[in-house]
Structure 1
């Protein structure tokens, strides 16, 4: 069962981005996800299965 993720949600990943940040914002959902690093604003594409495996914590956009 896929994890429920929506555009605007923030996720903390297990591995950090080369800039040092572990926080990302979801920009696009579907089979592939586009996420934006909140440290350096770089956007990357990840396959759903890869993103779900890397997620440590989810912060929904309405809880910020």
Structure 2
């Protein structure tokens, strides 16, 4: 099942970021997804299939 993501949505990951936060805000959606950590505001780009594996279902 393919999950759809929207800009501005907050997703929760299984493992925390280095800063301790598990919450990520979606900034851009496409073949890859740009995320911003809600704790330290660091931005990363992740492939869609990687994000599907890392979020809490």
Q: Same fold (TM over 0.5)?
A: yes
User: Into which bin does the TM-score normalised by the smaller protein fall?
Assistant: over 0.9
Aligned CA-pair RMSD: 1.0
- Structure 1: which 5+ runs fail to align? 58-64
Count of matched residue positions in the alignment of Structure 1 and Structure 2 = 57
Greater RCO, 1 or 2 (C-alpha within 8 Å, sep 6+): 1
Aligned to 1:56: 56
**Structure with more of its chain in strand, by fraction:** 1
Moved segments of 4+, more than 6 Å: none
**What's the TM-score, normalizing by structure 1?**
0.84
**What's the TM-score, normalizing by structure 2?**
0.93
Aligned to 1:61: none
- Structure 2: which 5+ runs fail to align? none
Aligned to 2:37: 37
